[in-house]
Structure 1
Amino acid sequence: MSVSFSYDALPGRVVFGAGAARHALPDQMDRLGARNILLLATEHERPMVEELAAPLGERVAGFFTGVRPHVPVDVAAAAVAAAKDIRADCVLAIGGGSTTGTAKAIALDLPLPIVVVPTTYAGSEMTPVWGLTDGEKKTTGRNPAVLPRVVVYDPELTLSLPPSLTATSGVNALAHCVEALWFPHIGPIPRLTAEEGVLALGRALPAVVRDGADVAARSDALYGAHLAGMAFAATGSGLHHKICHVLGGAFDLPHAEVHTAVLPHVVAFNEPAAVEASARIAAALGARTAAEGIAGLIDRIGASTSLAALGMQAPEVEHAVDLLMAKRYDENPRAVDETALRLILDGAYHGRRPGQG
């Protein structure tokens, strides 16, 4: 067999296991030589985060809790200022994708290593992708400087995720795998990673939504999210993620929930032009087609699929189409035009299953 491929194997250390966040952090900080740490978290998660960081003692020199979804530029500036004020030599982010994104915003400005402890299935901790929102515009980019140096995965930290957030955060991770699989230049290693991610998330999400205290299923879901981030990092952002970034940035809609509403319709649109990738997705989910597999999984975990239910207004659909027409979709497996965007957004707005009128 003749094989030829190339991809960037991104550097970084991963520590994975139940209880890892409670015993691994001091050793990981020692490896980095960190002595002046800025700790990032939401105010809501602060008590849990302070408990996890307690073994670090006085090495935690500052605490920033101004995290907001989609990382507004003013929040990023405040986080950078906080790091400068304490002369931080490391950033420790404990939380979901918004917390990780804020840490990346600091690293984009300051040459500081990032350590991330995820508490959701966002997957951004495994990527060099950053995003900032200014007004209704969300700008994203890739820069190796924002890639976390260490990621500590602890499924016990996801036990308190409510079923609704478990479901949508999991579909967010699933979207990373799906877009990676139809990326035009995907190599065999990212393909295997994405396919295994779909398989892990497909079996884990119904189990964790049914019983949030199932540590084995939580571990499986977090493993799937880890793989999803790796696959996305090796490929890139496509039609689905571009739609979600526009909707989140322009209308301040919640990130994971937007992914859940949009993904079935993008999959249904692309499936005829991405036959091999769609067959892999369908097989991993035990379905006849990729679109049926995605929609069926979302039904089983009880996630909302309506942009209207998230607060989007009907006239905003046309505004979103206008914003999306300014973007390029060269790497999408199927040509994207105004009619296609309107079809996808209309279905996601109303929360219909793909193919329903």
Structure 2
Amino acid sequence: MTTRPVLAITTGEPAGVGPELAVQVAAAEASRAEQLVLIGDRDLLAARAAAVGVSADWPDFVAGSAAPVSILHIPLAHPAVAGKLDPANARYVLDTLDAAIDGCLDGVFDAMVTAPIHKGVINDGCPGQFFSGHTEYLAEHTNTHQVVMMLVGGGLRVALATTHLPLADVAAALNAESLVTTLSILQADLQSKFGIAEPRILVAGLNPHAGESGHLGREEIDIIEPVLEKLRATGMQLIGPLPADTLFQPKYLQTADAVLAMYHDQGLPVLKYASFGQGVNLTLGLPIIRTSVDHGTALDLAGTGQADVGSLQAALTLAAQLAVNHRAAA
């Protein structure tokens, strides 16, 4: 392995903005302190690079090479058209993820950074294989029992107790065992990945007003509070459960290292309001480092050069920082 962190970028849905964002960031950052490996179809990357006015004349990736930017070529099944989803290329998207995962597990890459994908077209193109998102796919393919999704941006770190579930299923998915594991993963990764010795974590309630002493729901009384008491006894600094509508204010956040929200749309609208275009999605609990953009495929912008590279740049910066921290702790 070279002395510089090697970051693999999966270029995402070929009809979306991922390929052009990847080549734009790579073209602008060829002299950066990290090595970038773009994983995707070479011809697709060259075409999108030309469309946005940059060059993608980078060598093929060779492990141990000192090339600041290289391409790990994975061929498309069918030529991609910007803005037009094609289920024929669904397996291609998963192949790029598999290459990055395997490279991280083998120590070839120090971290993987993922451009946006389209869940619907993957499910349409891979019958019999339900795909609910990067987070769950990475957990399955690294044999990780439970992972935690966290977004970073706008001065906030917001983790989720549940991820991509219909709202009607959230309450049933909350249980003491899962919540203990989630908070333990969050605590451990704040310490090991972010270097925070004694993290202070704010925990949201599930119900309005954190259940209003049981009048608006009993999940706080029956599940959340007992878990927090149990983990506080081990030395964890956990504040809550707090009403989610008043949690995100300076008097709480200024002394907090992270927030745990109970479901996707409880915590993430606040973070995305504070950081959209600069936010980073981070998967905690994995044996590898993975960051991602905080936005979708933006099919309407694909091929136009108008998509903002800020979130991908932020994801690369965070991945590099975490990789350096990991190396220092090893």
TM-score, length-scaled by structure 1? 0.32
Higher share of residues assigned helix: 1
Higher share of residues assigned strand: 2
TM-score, length-scaled by structure 2? 0.34
Q: Which protein, 1 or 2, shows the higher relative CO under an 8 Å CA cutoff with sep ≥ 6?
A: 2
